[in-house]
Amino acid sequence: KQEVTQIPAALSVPEGENLVLNCSFTDSAIYNLQWFRQDPGKGLTSLLLIQSSQREQTSGRLNASLDKSSGRSTLYIAASQPGDSATYLCAVNSGSRLTFGEGTQLTVNP
């Protein structure tokens, strides 16, 4: 059974800092990995999708990496802004379902 863990559970940083969120998974037989953002009381917004054959994906200030063999992914956020404050969820697609981590709650202080 796939298990997904995210570290840290919560993170508070001053505006402008670069930061890294971590995601690990137990079964490396995956199709892809998806990073989402969830604002309080809102739905999930897809940020980046990395296919199992890829090593990284970039979108603006976001960069996600994938090391399938070691079961790890990181989400790098450059020059953080207060508007980045949200919960970030990592989800692993094993072919028939997404398995989610518990998320990292990020607060960026002005």
Partner 1 sequence: DAGVIQSPRHEVTEMGQEVTLRCKPISGHDYLFWYRQTMMRGLELLIYFNNNVPIDDSGMPEDRFSAKMPNASFSTLKIQPSEPRDSAVYFCASSFWTGSGEQFFGPGTRLTVL
In the complex with partner 1, the residue whose CB is nearer, 24 or 34, is: 34
CB atoms under 10 Å from CB of 48, counted, come to: 19
Q: Does 56 bind partner 1 (CB under 8 A)?
A: no
Closest by CA position to 21, among listed 88, 70, 69, 67: 88
Q: For partner 1, how many residues bind (rule: CB under 8 A)?
A: 23
Q: Are strands 104-109 and 10-14 parallel, antiparallel or unpaired?
A: parallel
Question: Encoding tokens for residue 40?
Answer: 């309080």
- Cα 67 to the center of its chain, rounded Å: 13
Q: Does 59 bind partner 1 (CB under 8 A)?
A: no
What is the distance between the alpha carbons of residues 49 and 108, in angstroms, rounded to a whole number? 24
Which among 17-25, 29-37, 59-67, 74-82 is the span making contact with partner 1, rule CB under 8 A?
Answer: 29-37
Q: Does 98 bind partner 1 (CB under 8 A)?
A: yes
Q: Does 31 bind partner 1 (CB under 8 A)?
A: yes
Residues within the interface to partner 1 (CB under 8 A): 31-32, 34, 36, 41-46, 49, 51, 89, 91, 93, 95-98, 100-103
